[in-house]
Structures are given as structure tokens and as C-alpha cells.
Amino acid sequence: VGLMARIRDQHGITLPQLNIGGGHAIAYRPGEESLNVGVLAGRVRAELEDGCARTGLPVPRLTLEPGRAIVGPAGVAVYRVRAVKRTAGRTFVAVDGGMSDNPRPALYGVRYAPRLIGRPSSTPPRLATVVGRHCEAGDILADEVALPGDVRPGDLLAVPAAGAYHLSMASGYNLVGRPPVVAVSNGIARVLVRRESLDDMSRRDIGL
């Protein structure tokens, strides 16, 4: 509002619209807080009206960009377990993805809550660390999360709230192709983005 007032005073232009962007939080793990749309709308509207009244501006059309709050919860990343290592004090579950499809845990410590899918398990849960395939110390997708004690190679782990960043931040790290994107609705699945192959990545090679 202060910027809009300066633009009016210096240039004689009253802007009709204010876009305050996005960045609204979502819950990645149980117990975390997510965006409360009603509370946000009430507070933003009150602040906007108060600021405009103090500066003599008409209340502009207000625009928000809650992209992550919409697409984040809509996506689920699915990994296949490649190996399980059990020691006296820890269990490590290695999956077929990692830093290449989701660098956020390694970059700034985001942690997720993977769950076993595809088969039932009555085995009591055990704390496990889910690691990626890239042989890097920071390639950890989830640290000390509860997974069934009988988790084994071939199992599928689902990671909720993966819609916002997994694909957009995925890379060809260690020449691991980016994963596909599959839309699922009412029991029907359709590939939206196909899996990236080694041939896809090698097409840019010009050769000697």
C-alpha cells in the first residue's frame, strides 16, 4: 500500500490492482500447520482496507497466488524400495529416487512422511531413515519416520504433498532420469509426462 501511495504521489497513477503473491504454507507431515484460507483472507483484507484509508487510496482489487497450497497436496511421489539395512540401532530404507527428483531435503532440510502402500502390514512400526540412491551423505528423504518393521525390497512408499516441487526441481543428477507424472482420477490413470530416459539425456551429446 505504501508503494502504491508513492506511485500515486510521484506519477499521478492510482493502481487498480494489488498482487501480494503466494508462498502459503502446506503441511508436509502430520501435525504441521497448513494455510487457513479464512483467517488469511480476513487479516489481509483488514490490513488492506486500513492501509488504504490511511493513505487516501481506493481499495484495489486484491490478487493472491496460492499455487503451492493447491498443487502441493494434489501430488504424491511414489518410490520403490531397493534395499533395507538393519543395524542394532537403526533401519535404513533405500529407494529408487532421491536428490535427483527432490533436492529439497538436502538443500534446506525439508522432511516428509512416507507411508507403505500396495500391501497391508500388521508388523509394528519401527523408526527408519529413508535414503535416496545417490550415494551422498545428504541424500535423505525422511529421517526417523515410522514404517512397518517388515518393509522390504520391492515395496512401494508414497510421499504425500509432493505436487509443488518434485517435478519442478527435478534434475538429471548422476544421470538419473526425471520421473513420470501420472494423473489418477476415479480409478483411471493417465500419463501426463513420460519418464525421462538415458536416450533423452544423450541426445544433446554432439560427439567428437
DSSP structure string for the chain: -HHHHHHHHHH----SEEE--------SSTT-----HHHHHHHHHHHHHHHHHHHTPPPPEEE---HHHHHTTT--EEEEEEEEEE-SS-EEEEES-STTT--HHHHH------EEESS---SPEEEEEEE-SS--TT-EEEEEEEEETT--TT-EEEESS-TTTHHHH---GGGPPPPPEEEEETTEEEEEEPPPPHHHHHTT----
Give me the catalytic one of 135, 146, 191, 193.
Answer: 135
Chain-centre distance of CA 189, in angstroms?
A: 21
Q: Which of 101, 99, 77 is nearest to 156 (CA)?
A: 77
Residue 52: active-site member: no
Residues labelled as active-site residues: 135
